Amino acid sequence: MGAIRILTIAVTIVVVAVPEGLPLAVTLTLAYSMRKMMRDKALVRRLSSCETMGSATTICSDKTGTLTLNKMTVVEAHFIGTRLDPCDDVRAISSSSAALLIEGIAQNTTGTVFLPEDGGAADVTGSPTEKAILSWGLKIGMDFNNVRSKSSVLHVFPFNSEKKRGGVAVQSDTEVHIHWKGAAELVLSSCKSWLSLDGSVQPMGAQKRNEYKKSIEDMAKSSLRCVAFAYCLCDIEKIPKEDIADWKLPEEDLTLLGIVGIKDPCRPGVRNAVQLCKNAGVKVRMVTGDNIETAKAIALECGILDANGVISEPFVIEGRAFREMSEIARGEIADKITVMGRSSPNDKLLLVQALKRKGHVVAVTGDGTNDAPALHEADIGLAMGMSGTEVAKESSDIIILDDDFTSVVKVVRWGRSVYANIQKFIQFQLTVNVAALVINVIAAVSSGDVPLNAVELLWVNLIMDTLGALALATEPPTDNLMKRQPVGRREPLVTNIMWRNLFVQAIYQIAILLIFNFSGKKILRLQNESPDNAEKMKNTFIFNTFVFCQIFNEFNARKPEERNVFKGVTKNHLFMGIVCVTTVFQILIVEFLGKFFKIVRLNWSLWLVSVAIGVVSWPLAYLGKFIPVPVRPLQAYFKPCWKSSRRDEEEGRQG
């Protein structure tokens, strides 16, 4: 029987010592956070990404639809060398020029226009940019279906994110027109002529080119997206008859038709969200395909760039310049990049890779199919739920359902809450583990008996693993979480602050309970009881006191860094409920389940002393937080010794 008893105690100590409740706590806090994040418009596809998002050090965000509303309208137009005011007043344009422009708008598009038979408002579909241009086309007199019926499409070059343009070849009678539409400065660079007031084609001189460049820069500085329209005539004889699908549309020697500026206003609340990220130590970088000047203007409006700061290279850079650098050069400037304009999906991927090599935990937003590699490469891929493609969503870890950057910041907040809740549970569990282990080992070695038997330790283990996990894993996020710096990749999970709190509570519990273990009969005045009953009452008192120490310490674990551990406690109904349930079960165990637990009932005075000893953990935790802790992680102090021993071992082998 003695051997069985020793074996039972040994196995129970091992069960209590091993923190097997940690996986349960992690799963619970992830699952709880995932459900709550749905209310904040974030659909979590991979549970682990919740915790990773809390460690993010940088967010590479798209502009259109994420930082801006993605509700585009044409607000400025430049045609035949002059600005139209208002932008839909095309009376100054000749009928032949207007017909060419309208043909380009109607045929070179992926959108459609549906006109209801009852004469209601037109229903325009397509991407936000396409919808803005088609809506503007309707204002200048475009009859979408009529224009498309007058000419037939021969070949289409879809919009290309690398070239930032899309083209179409259309045949009308005996003429073939190649229409191009895309990024204004890139289309302008391919134009050798422009359409004049009377509809004649004029050569693009240096002065006229500079005029158009100035118009583009002015529009871009006003945060407008600039789109240019150009065309060229093609000899019908040069069009391949058989392999037309492989025909490369002519994209040089174009004639400029005009340029429009499309306004996409910033989302309300984005500036505050960006500032919140800055306070939290998370750098927001804008990666967009827009003109560099447009990107700068939006970044200044959103607060990503500071008007008083540096807004030149390498802080603001074009994708092409970054792409052409060597891998080493990209790594050197990656940290400094705040805005990347005229970028391709591959540029975004290169930036993510460079940032990861620098040790950053990178979150990336994306919506297009071409964004999939960057979303997959990033530590956390955030796809847009409304504008995102299925490929982008499949490559992501979290889907932002409303496409809003403020929701991305909420995900960061929840991620930090997950990480903090896991740390709270670890601190709570390690305190119980250390105290129970030391108390039983010292008692067993010194007297051959233990104050906490197997059944009692299993009940304590239940408090730690299941109830403790439920209580601490459901702590809601607080504003203080966004005032900390991100933990990054290499920070230890158990911080010096946690070690301090743990040792303060564990030493107190060990000291007080060992004193009662060795001198409890005298202190509690149990000399008048029979030896067997006095021993049982002493052990019952130690068990009861130990449990109440854990119940009160559970409050301390809620706020490892704050002195006021009761802040917001009444709002967490599950936490309060678990504390009440644990207390009620402890009373039932001591008062009614004595035979099963091999304990006896306690009188009211011993109950009060047990509770009083547990309550002391509150002021002790408050005072303990005045103890300063070193910045260097505790684990780092042991690394030099470990490395030197390994080095000596390797040298010995070589010798």
- Of the candidates 90, 82, 89, 138, the residue with the CA atom closest to the CA atom of residue 115: 138
- Please report the beta strands in 100-162, taking only residues with DSSP state E, as ranges in sequence order: 112-114, 123-125, 152-160
Where are the alpha helices (H) located in 378-495, listed in sequence order? Answer: 390-394, 405-447, 454-462, 468-473
Residue 266 is classified by DSSP as: B
How many Cβ atoms are within 10 Å of 127's Cβ, its own excluded?
A: 17
Interacting residues of 446 by C-beta distance below 8 A, sequence separation 6+: 518
- CA torsion 586-589-594-597 (nearest 10°) is -90
- Three-state SS for 471-497 is HHHCCCCCHHHHHCCCCCCCCCCCCHH
* Burial of 81 per CB tally in 10 Å (0-12, 13-18, 19+): middle
Measured in whole angstroms, the distance separating CA 190 from the mean position of its chain's CA atoms is: 40
Residue written as token pair 């009932």: 601
| Contact (Cβ atoms closer than 8 angstroms) between residue 415 and residue 55 | yes
Is 253 one of the annotated active-site residues of the chain? no
Backbone angles phi, psi at 119, to 5 degrees: 80, 15
| Contact (Cβ atoms closer than 8 angstroms) between residue 26 and residue 422 | yes
Give the active site residue among 40, 62, 367, 403.
62
- Of the candidates 256, 264, 291, the residue with the CA atom closest to the CA atom of residue 104: 256
Gyration radius from the chain CA atoms: 35
Catalytic (active-site) positions: 62
